[in-house]
Every structure is written in C-alpha cells, then in structure tokens.
C-alpha cells in the first residue's frame, strides 16, 4: 500500500493514510454479495418478449412487478405438458419449452391455464429442411396498404393470396406471463441439470422440496393501447416535475441517396423526374431485439446496395435524363412506418423530392430464395385500371425484361393473372398517387420464406454458410453461391434503373460485384465486427459492431446499428474519397467546389496501414442522408389513427432472469413459528428474571443466564 | 426465502437480545448510552481488524484460493484479538468515567455499578456483532430463493440465525466475566475469555458441518453462562429460593446482611 509522504511531519501523513485505507476498505466491501451468489444463478444470455402497442391493442408479454417465480418443468414432448396443466402438485410452473414445441397449439393451451403457469422459457431449436415457424400474421400489414374494403375489396385482407401462409400470429397475441428466449446452450444445460437434480420425483411421484425454480422479470409499464400510454406520458410530462414516460413510439431513420446530387435545401423542380429504388431495412421476431431478418430484409437491402454501387460506376451517370433515388425504409414491418412518413413528408413539401417527381418505382421484396432462377414482377391491379398508368407499368415491365435479358441467371417473370401487391412500401405510395411501380420478389404466390420474421430467419435460411476451417477474414471475402445469385439480381436491378433513368449505351457494362455482396452478407448476417465494416464507419461508431450478427429491429432509440452501417456502406459504395482534412470534412463550406447542400461529408476510420499500427482515415463525400422515420400519427398526435402506423414500445425498468432453489411453504412457516416462540419465550424469561433480579443476584444485577 | 423466513430468522437471532434490551436497558437512559457506546467500540474494533486484513491481502497480492482462505482465517483470529482488546479499552474508559463521576458526586449513586456496566457493554458488543454478521444474510432471505443450488446446505439461514443468537449471548457473558477479571486483576480470566472466543470463531470455519458448530457453540455458551451467573452474584441457593418462590425471606435476609 502506498504511504503518503508529506513534507510536513508524520501527522498529516498518517491521517491521510488512515483516510485512504478507510476508503479503500469501504470500496472493497461494496464488491459483491457472497450470500446472493450462493442462492441465485443469473441467466445472462436471454431475450425477453416485450409489450408493443398500437392504436387499439397491446401485444407481447407482461410479468408482475416483482417478477414471476415458478417451479421449473422441462417440456420436451407434448405429453409433458400434462404435468404443468393438470397433474403437477406445486403450481405455478415455469415451463422450459423446446423450440420445436413453440407452436400455436401449445401456446393456446398454456394461455388457457394462466393460474398454473408462471412463465415460459423457450430454447432455440435446430431448424431442419421441413420445419417452419413464423410468428407473424398470415396477412402482414393488413389495413395499412392500399387494399381496403372500399378500394380493391377483392384483394383486401389477403383474400386472393395469403402471403405468409405459415404464419401463426403468435407475435401479435397478448400474453399475461413472461416469455424469454434462452440463447445460450450452456445456460440451458445448467437449467436442465438443476431440474434433473431436484425436480424429478421417484417413479413419477411428486418431487420433494427444495425444488429448482426460475424467476423472470419483465414488467412493462404501458397498457391497453398507444392512445392510452401516449396520453398518460403526455400528462406526466406536462404536469410532473419528474415525468414517468410509459411508452415510446417506434422510430428510426430512412437511408436515402440520389444518383446525381440534388440541392436538399430547396425542393426539386416539378419537371425533374426521379426513378425510385426502394427496399426495407428492418425485421422483427417474437423476442425483443432479436431480428436476424436474413431473407425478409438483409438480402434485399444488400442487393440494393450492390445495385447502387454498380450503377454509380456507369460512365455517363451525370448525363442521364432522370435521376435515381435509392431509399431504404426503416420500420416497414410495423405498418410501414418509414414509407408512410416519407409519403407524408413528400406531400407536405418537407422532403426535397415530391410525389410529382416520381416517374417509376422499383421495389425489391424478398429475393434470396428464388426457385429455378425466377424473379417475379408484382404490380398493382387497382391502379392499372387507369389506362395511362397501365401503359406506364407495361413500359416499366418491358424495360425490366430487356435489362434482365442480359443476365441469364435471372429470369424475370410476369404474373399470370391479376394479383394483389405483396406487402411492400409501394403500397403506401400508391395510396397517395397512382404511380407506376413494380415489386421484384422470389415468390409468385405466398412467401418462400418459411421463417418470415422469426428468430430462425438467419444466414442458414438463405444458404449462407462458410467452411469451418476458415478464419473470419477469409470468411469475409469468401463468395458464397447466395452472394453470386444476389449479385445477379443486383445486376438486373442496376441495369433496369439505368435504362429507366434514360441511359442506353453502357447498360451491358453495368455489373454488380459479388465480392461486395458477400462482404455485406457476412457483416450483416454472421459477424458485424470485421475489417471492412470497421474501415467504413466513423471512429465513435466502432463499438456498434460486435462479434455477432446485427439485429434489425427498429427499436425506439435512433439511429440503430443497422441504419448507421447501411448509411456508411452506401456512402462507401457510392461516394468518393476526397482529399479533405478532418476540419475541412466537418465544415466544407470554406473549401471551393464542395457544398454541404449537395453532398454529405463524413470522416471515416479507413483501413489499417500496412504495418497494422494505425488507421488511415479519410473524408468520404456522398449523397447519402438520413430522413426521419417516425409515423405521422405521432407528429399529428393522432394516437388512435387507422391511417398511419401507431406502433409504440412499452418502457420497462428491469429485465432479468435467474434460477434458484425454493423451500416448501411448510418449512417457511415452521421457521416463522420457531422464531416467534423463541421471541415469546425469551420475553417471558427475561421478564421473570428481571423481576426476581434482587433475589437471584446478591448485588442488584440484571439477568445473565438463560438456563436451558 | 421470502417474508416468513425473514421474520422467523430475525426473531430467532435477535429475539433474546431484544427481550433483554426491552426489559433491562430501555428503562434507564444512562444504560442506553453505555449500550450504544459499547456497540460503537465493537464497530471500531471491526474497522481496525478489517483494515489490517485488507492491508495484508493487498501486500501478499495472491489470487490463490487456499492462500485467500488462510488469510481469511488469519483475519478472523486477528479480529477476535482486536475485539477483546477493545473490550479492555472500554473497561478502562468506564473505570475512568465511574471514578470521575464518583469524585463529582460522592454521596449519590446514580452511576450504574461496574457489574451492570459489564453486562451492558457485553450486550452492546453482542448486538452490534450480531447485526453486522447477520443483516446481510437476512436481507437475502427476503428474496424468493434459498441456499442450495451450488450444493450448500439448504438450512443456511436457520443455522446462521442460531449462530448469531449464540454469539450475542456469548458476548454478554464474556462481558460480565471479562470485567470481573479486570476488577479483580485476575489475568487468567481475560485469557480464558480470549481463548473461548478464538475457539468459537475458529470452529465456524468447519462449515458446512453446521451441527458440530452449533453444538459446540451452545455448550460453550451454557458454560460461560453459568460462570457469568456466579460472577454476577448468583448462587445455587439464590436460584433455589427464586424457583421455589421463597423470595421475601431471602430479600429480608439480604437487606439485613448488607
């Protein structure tokens, strides 16, 4: 221990030493609670199911405010449920469910007997080639697209085509008990070991105490609906000194960029024509912040990123007659948050591009699971009832087919009969104005994605696998077959956009790079913390990348990791590295020929130098910007709107899970009775001895011995 | 282990101490003050012993399990010695205080006698020691879980409660015997108190053999209790008189002989 050596004598020195050691002692005492470590085993790698609210309903799960405790029961086959539902003598039970049993039937049974269920812990199953699991509804975003009972009733509510056939709708149910996902196999083993040691009785009889139990905390503050929780938050923030906000609207940012830079401080002239290329960024699953979204989101936006890169490389980009806008919408999973906000901004002049400027609209739906090279072109039948729109759509499809002809690995197919548009951002644009648009997808009828918006929509779902012996760096650059297929789709898209924008000469030279596609897929689906992602991000964003895949849930704090990475990836792929210094990069107004209105400048980390000692940062100039993606319902304070998305996420204080042993109620009461009797006995004896103290002790003294 | 266990263990550990406080200390404010001072002296002794233990740990700076264990045992034994040292210090302080009070007021007898002070100080030491050692465990007993998932005995809370009870009572008896030894200058008494304290402390390291622990501690408590009873002025005769309710004659006899 360091001694304080003062210049002036020993006294201040020793006092200082005393103070120092006193504070050090205090610090040491606050370290950890060893008794607590004897009792509880915390489960750290879990994902909870949280409460989401919309205009009329609440969905998700809720626990009681001090957590829900239940005796663990492992359910590996359906018969094990009987113990939980009827036979078990020690309700409530905490069910540890195998992933493959997490189906609608089982959940209906559990939902029906809530008095005996304290909660649910689900383990990850190993999906095989025939299984499917989609907790989303069968008709996603129903009621917020174009088709309603008044417009296109024959297409409304998925009457003609059930898009998500395998959906069981679990994610949109309301559960009154907590449900957690156990992500780590080791923790699951520990729980099962505890169960086998303590919870199995002899020969099927009741097990004896102490029993192994689990406690789940996930108390949600918001109730009933968005209207209720926003009203309560509003009242709190207006009248309370310490406001208690109970829910937050789901919001983030859309990423958009233009092929030719435009002046964002003003709007575009009405005669400027823009071709829009759109896709979605987000996905979801039953559990909070777990949204691998490989087929439902990642493959699509990766393809669009590659197409943007390919298109920007065309030589005559600056002379094209029309501009091209690449936009990545966030929040499309939750009733089109991003696209409805962009349409609203366009209508109200808050966005540089207006609805009148849009010439055509090409959207990428789910494109990674193509069977036999087919890429289907979906169009809207209702808007095509108008002759001019029909002709425009016809031209659009013809252009696409012409561009697709040069890529033999992609066969563009039209649909045989008129069919509704699949759930897509184009629907929100069509609600506002009849534009000619097409959605490219790998499915003609219902989705090929058997794990739509679930925890199993991972890299394996789109056949992105890497050999086991390779290092992460080798994996980053390893071109998988999926990457090649997506690169072909990106080539088709880029060529089509080129032709739609008026280009003619260099169409066949536009080629998307499979290397880019595979690096993007690796970063988004396998390991975000890789050398390429690190080099394209800003310095203070580097901690946003960890060794696991990125999760593409919109969340409530913005921008999310995915938004940032897509923004910087698009900047890297479509922008230019300039020679500006760091100060110039932050304020380019002083530099001639650079304009903050036309471009965005960002100072990124850059790659390692040859010695790997430091990075070579650079200033990247691009037209990539973020646009707010908050539903107009919250801007207009119309919290029970049926026109715009009203999804909000509840707030919570504490989410944790732990296991421990519990003792029987009888033992607890025996302890209480023993304590009580000892107290009463000692009161009586002390009183008696005190009263007789003069007799017992020669000198007046108080009682000493309590004789046994 | 939930609320019934919390209250049960709290009553077991602190019931007798509470009873003693209620009926003997709470009636006289001067005794309360001496009780709190005694508790404070115990706290300071704990502070010093923990400081020494921490210094030793930092100096050796060894992460090895067994070395940490030995250091803990060493720390506990050092703490026992420091506690007894502070008991001696408190005795000296009380002696000076009572002499000072006597010199101010030679006729009045407001100050408690040394024997009473011995009991009060012992109780103060005991209560503080019990609170400090048991409150942490008690707060954990409020949660839903009980000890045992890592293989420890599920009777942890009950054992701790009974151990705390025995420590509190032992401190009371040690106080009485110790002060008597100091008064009569019989140093072997002080040594015996120190030794029995060391024995009780050391055999708690035998956990998880709780039964051996508790039985030994209770036997020592009974023996110390009997010794303290005799030191305090009790005798077999007075006990017999008390139990057979022949107190009036005894009182008269006592008054006359004084």
E runs forming strands in A523-646: 576-578, 600-604, 618-622, 625-630
Distance (Å) from the C-alpha of residue B104 to the closest C-alpha of chain A? 23
Rounded to an integer, what distance in angstroms lies between the CA atom of residue B214 and that of residue B163?
A: 6
Q: What angle do CA A271, A275, A278 make, to 5 degrees?
A: 140
Instruction: Determine how β-strand A93-97 pairs with β-strand A117-123.
Output: parallel
Averaged pLDDT for residues B28-45: 93
Contact A53, A167 (CB under 8 A): no
**Is B232 close to A704, i.e. CB distance below 8 A?**
yes
Strand order in the sheet with A576-578: A576-578, A618-622, A600-604
Q: What is this structure's pTM? A: 0.88
User: Would you call A418 exposed, middle or buried from its count of C-beta atoms within 10 A (0-12, 13-18, 19+)?
Assistant: middle
Distance (Å) from the C-alpha of residue A25 to the closest C-alpha of chain B? 6
Nearest to B136 among A33, A701, A708 (CB): A33
Chain A residues within an 8 Å CB radius of B242:
692, 695-696
Distance (Å) from the C-alpha of residue A207 to the closest C-alpha of chain B? 16
Nearest to A35 among B5, B140, B165 (CB): B140
Instruction: Determine how β-strand A247-249 pairs with β-strand A648-650.
Output: antiparallel
- β-bridge partners, A627: A254
Closest CA to A627 of A252, A308, A349: A252
Nearest to B144 among A69, A670, A671 (CB): A69
Chain B residues within an 8 Å CB radius of A690:
23-24
Distance (Å) from the C-alpha of residue B206 to the closest C-alpha of chain A? 17
Matching residue, tokens 């056949």: A463
Distance (Å) from the C-alpha of residue A215 to the closest C-alpha of chain B? 9
- β-bridge partners, A323: A274
For residue B110, the model assigns a pLDDT of 65
Please list the rounded mean pLDDT of every run of 10 residues in chain A (708 residues). 40 49 41 80 95 94 94 92 89 92 92 90 86 93 92 90 93 95 94 93 82 95 94 93 93 94 88 94 94 94 96 91 95 94 94 93 94 92 91 93 91 89 94 94 93 93 91 91 94 94 88 94 93 92 91 90 94 91 86 85 89 88 94 93 94 94 92 95 93 73 44
Distance (Å) from the C-alpha of residue A325 to the closest C-alpha of chain B? 58
Nearest to A39 among B23, B58, B147 (CB): B147
Residue among B44, B134, B146 with most chain A CBs within 10 A, to mutate: B146
Shortest CA distance from A658: residue in chain B: B145
**Is A674 close to B239, i.e. CB distance below 8 A?**
no
For residue A5, the model assigns a pLDDT of 40
Nearest to B149 among A21, A659, A685 (CB): A659
Closest CA to A495 of A405, A619, A559: A405
Shortest CA distance from A20: residue in chain B: B51
Instruction: Determine how β-strand A436-441 pairs with β-strand A618-622.
Output: unpaired
**Is A678 close to B154, i.e. CB distance below 8 A?**
no
Chain A residues within an 8 Å CB radius of B229:
704-705
Q: Residue B44 has which token pair? A: 């300071």
Chain B residues within an 8 Å CB radius of A682:
15-16, 18-20
Nearest to A698 among B55, B145, B254 (CB): B254
**Is A1 close to B59, i.e. CB distance below 8 A?**
yes
**Is A672 close to B239, i.e. CB distance below 8 A?**
no
Axis-axis angle for helices A561-574, A299-312 (nearest 10): 20
Instruction: Determine how β-strand A52-53 pairs with β-strand A625-630.
Output: unpaired
Chain B residues within an 8 Å CB radius of A703:
20, 24
Nearest to B146 among A22, A210, A705 (CB): A210
Residue among B11, B157, B169 with most chain A CBs within 10 A, to mutate: B11
ipTM associated with this complex: 0.92
Nearest to B24 among A1, A659, A690 (CB): A690
Instruction: Determine how β-strand A41-43 pairs with β-strand A652-662.
Output: antiparallel
For residue A215, the model assigns a pLDDT of 96
Nearest to B233 among A662, A701, A706 (CB): A701
Distance (Å) from the C-alpha of residue B125 to the closest C-alpha of chain A? 15
- β-bridge partners, A363: A278, A439
Element (H, E) at A215: strand A211-220
Q: Residue A117 has which token pair? A: 């269920």
Rounded to an integer, what distance in angstroms lies between the CA atom of residue A227 and that of residue A57?
A: 10
Distance (Å) from the C-alpha of residue B243 to the closest C-alpha of chain A? 10
**What SS3 state is found at A654?**
strand
Count chain A–chain B contacts defined by CB atoms under 8 A.
Answer: 199
Between residues B70 and A443, which one has the greater pLDDT? A443
For residue B255, the model assigns a pLDDT of 58
For residue A30, the model assigns a pLDDT of 41
Closest CA to B169 of A685, A228, A89, A115: A685
**Is B234 close to A24, i.e. CB distance below 8 A?**
no
B175-194: b (≥16 Cβ within 10 Å) or e: bbbbbbbbeeeeeebbebbb
Closest CA to A661 of B4, B150, B140: B150
**Is A676 close to B238, i.e. CB distance below 8 A?**
no
**Is B222 close to A674, i.e. CB distance below 8 A?**
no
- Total Cβ atoms within 10 A of residue A502: 16
Matching residue, tokens 């049993």: A101
Q: Rounded to the nearest 5°, which phi and psi values hold at A64?
A: -75, 165
Instruction: Determine how β-strand A436-441 pairs with β-strand A374-378.
Output: antiparallel
Distance (Å) from the C-alpha of residue B250 to the closest C-alpha of chain A? 7
**Is A704 close to B235, i.e. CB distance below 8 A?**
no
**Is A671 close to B158, i.e. CB distance below 8 A?**
yes
Matching residue, tokens 């987000």: A282
Shortest CA distance from B251: residue in chain A: A695
Distance (Å) from the C-alpha of residue A205 to the closest C-alpha of chain B? 22
Chain A residues within an 8 Å CB radius of B9:
671, 675
Nearest to A662 among B144, B157, B254 (CB): B144
Distance (Å) from the C-alpha of residue B232 to the closest C-alpha of chain A? 6
Nearest to B250 among A194, A682, A695 (CB): A695
**Is A38 close to B18, i.e. CB distance below 8 A?**
no
Shortest CA distance from A664: residue in chain B: B1
Residues 6+ positions from B157 with CB-CB distance below 8 Å = A671, B1, B5, B9, B137, B141, B146, B147
Please, what sign has the CA dihedral across residues A502, A506, A508, A511?
negative
User: Would you call B231 exposed, middle or buried from its count of C-beta atoms within 10 A (0-12, 13-18, 19+)?
Assistant: buried
Instruction: Determine how β-strand A358-364 pairs with β-strand A274-280.
Output: parallel
Contact A378, A423 (CB under 8 A): no
Q: Is the peptide bond before A36 cis (omega within 30 degrees of 0)?
A: no
């Amino acid at each position: 221990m360091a001694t304080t050596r003062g210049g002036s004598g020993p006294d201040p020195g020793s006092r200082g030493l005393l103070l120092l050691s006193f504070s050090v002692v205090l610090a040491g005492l606050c370290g950890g609670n060893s008794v607590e470590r004897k009792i509880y085993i915390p489960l750290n790698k879990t994902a909870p199911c949280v409460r989401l609210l919309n205009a009329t309903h609440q969905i998700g799960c809720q626990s009681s405010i001090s957590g829900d405790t239940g005796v663990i029961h492992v359910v590996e086959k359906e018969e094990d449920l009987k113990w939980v539902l009827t036979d078990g003598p020690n309700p409530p039970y905490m069910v540890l469910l195998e992933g493959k049993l997490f189906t609608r039937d089982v959940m209906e049974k559990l939902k029906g007997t809530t008095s005996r269920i304290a909660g649910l812990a689900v383990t990850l199953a190993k999906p095989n080639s025939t299984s499917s699991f989609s907790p989303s509804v069968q008709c996603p975003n129903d009621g917020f697209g174009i088709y309603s009972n008044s417009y296109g009733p024959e297409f409304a509510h998925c009457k003609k085509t059930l898009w998500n056939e395998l959906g069981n709708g679990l994610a949109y149910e309301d559960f009154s008990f907590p449900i957690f996902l156990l992500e780590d196999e080791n923790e699951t083993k520990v729980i099962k070991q505890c169960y086998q040691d303590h919870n199995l009785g002899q020969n099927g009889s009741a097990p004896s105490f102490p029993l192994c139990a689990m406690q789940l905390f996930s108390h949600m503050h918001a109730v009933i609906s968005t209207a209720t929780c926003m009203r309560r938050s509003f009242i709190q923030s207006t009248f309370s000194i310490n406001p208690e906000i109970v829910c937050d609207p789901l919001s983030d940012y859309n990423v958009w960029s233009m092929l030719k830079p435009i002046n964002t401080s003003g709007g575009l002239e009405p005669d400027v024509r823009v071709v829009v290329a759109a896709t979605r960024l987000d996905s979801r699953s039953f559990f909070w912040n777990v949204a691998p979204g490989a087929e439902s989101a990642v493959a699509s936006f990766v393809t669009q990123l590659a197409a943007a890169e390919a298109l920007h490389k065309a030589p005559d980009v600056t002379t094209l007659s029309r501009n091209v806008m690449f936009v990545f919408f966030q929040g499309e999973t939750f009733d089109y948050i991003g696209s409805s906000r962009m349409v609203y901004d366009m209508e109200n002049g808050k966005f540089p591009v207006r609805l009148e400027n849009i010439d055509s609209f090409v959207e990428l739906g789910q494109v990674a699971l193509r069977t036999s090279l087919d890429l289907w072109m979906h169009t809207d039948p209702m808007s095509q009832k108008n002759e001019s729109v029909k002709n425009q759509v016809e031209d659009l499809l013809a252009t696409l087919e012409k561009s697709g002809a040069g890529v033999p690995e992609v066969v563009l197919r039209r649909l045989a009969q008129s069919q509704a548009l699949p759930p897509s951002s184009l629907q929100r644009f069509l609600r506002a104005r009849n534009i000619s648009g097409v959605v490219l997808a790998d499915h003609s009828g219902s989705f090929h994605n058997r794990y739509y918006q679930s925890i199993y929509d991972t890299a394996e779902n789109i056949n992105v696998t890497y050999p086991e012996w390779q290092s992460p760096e080798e994996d980053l650059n390893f071109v998988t077959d999926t990457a090649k297929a997506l690169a072909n789709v990106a080539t088709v898209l880029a060529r089509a956009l080129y032709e739609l924008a008026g280009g003619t000469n260099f169409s066949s030279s536009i080629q998307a790079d499979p290397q880019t596609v595979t690096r993007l897929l690796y970063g988004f689906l396998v390991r975000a913390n890789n050398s390429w992602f690190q080099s394209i991000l800003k310095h203070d964003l580097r901690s946003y990348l960890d060794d696991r895949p990125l999760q593409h849930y919109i969340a409530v704090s913005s921008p999310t990791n995915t938004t940032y990475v897509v923004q910087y990836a698009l900047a890297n792929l479509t922008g230019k590295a300039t020679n500006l210094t760091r100060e110039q990069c932050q304020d380019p107004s002083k530099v001639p020929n650079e304009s903050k209105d036309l471009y965005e400048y960002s100072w990124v980390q850059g790659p390692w130098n040859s010695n790997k000692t430091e990075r070579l940062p650079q200033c990247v100039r691009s037209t990539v910007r973020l646009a707010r993606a908050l539903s107009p319902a919250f801007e207009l304070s119309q919290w029970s709107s049926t026109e715009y998305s009203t999804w909000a996420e509840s707030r919570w204080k504490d989410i944790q899970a732990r296991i421990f042993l519990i003792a029987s109620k009888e033992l607890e009461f025996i302890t209480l009775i023993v304590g009580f009797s000892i107290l009463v006995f000692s009161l009586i004896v002390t009183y008696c001895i005190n009263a007789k103290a003069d007799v017992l002790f020669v000198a007046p003294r108080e009682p000493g011995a309590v004789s046994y | 282990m939930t609320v019934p266990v919390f209250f049960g263990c709290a009553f077991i550990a602190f019931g007798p101490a509470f009873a003693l406080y209620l009926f003997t200390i709470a009636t006289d404010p001067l005794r309360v003050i001496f009780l709190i001072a005694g508790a404070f002296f115990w706290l300071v002794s704990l502070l010093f012993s923990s400081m020494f233990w921490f210094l030793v740990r930092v100096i050796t700076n060894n992460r090895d399990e067994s070395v940490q264990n030995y250091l803990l045992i060493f720390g506990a034994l050092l703490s026992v010695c420091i506690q007894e040292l502070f008991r001696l210090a408190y005795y000296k302080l009380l002696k000076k205080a009572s002499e000072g009070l006597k010199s101010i007021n030679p006729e009045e007898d407001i100050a408690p006698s040394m024997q009473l002070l011995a009991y009060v100080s012992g109780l103060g030491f005991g209560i503080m020691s019990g609170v400090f050692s048991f409150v942490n465990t008690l707060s954990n007993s409020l949660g839903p879980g009980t000890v045992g998932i890592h293989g420890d005995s599920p009777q942890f809370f009950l054992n701790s409660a009974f151990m705390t009870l025995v420590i509190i009572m032992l401190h009371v008896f040690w106080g009485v015997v110790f002060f008597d030894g100091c008064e009569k200058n019989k140093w072997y008494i002080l040594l015996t108190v120190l030794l029995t304290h060391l024995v009780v402390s050391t055999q708690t390291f035998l956990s998880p053999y709780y039964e051996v622990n508790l039985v030994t501690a209770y036997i020592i408590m009974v023996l110390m209790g009997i010794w303290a009873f005799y030191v305090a002025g009790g005798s077999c005769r007075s006990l017999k008189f008390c139990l057979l309710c022949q107190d009036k004659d005894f009182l008269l006899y006592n008054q006359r002989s004084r």
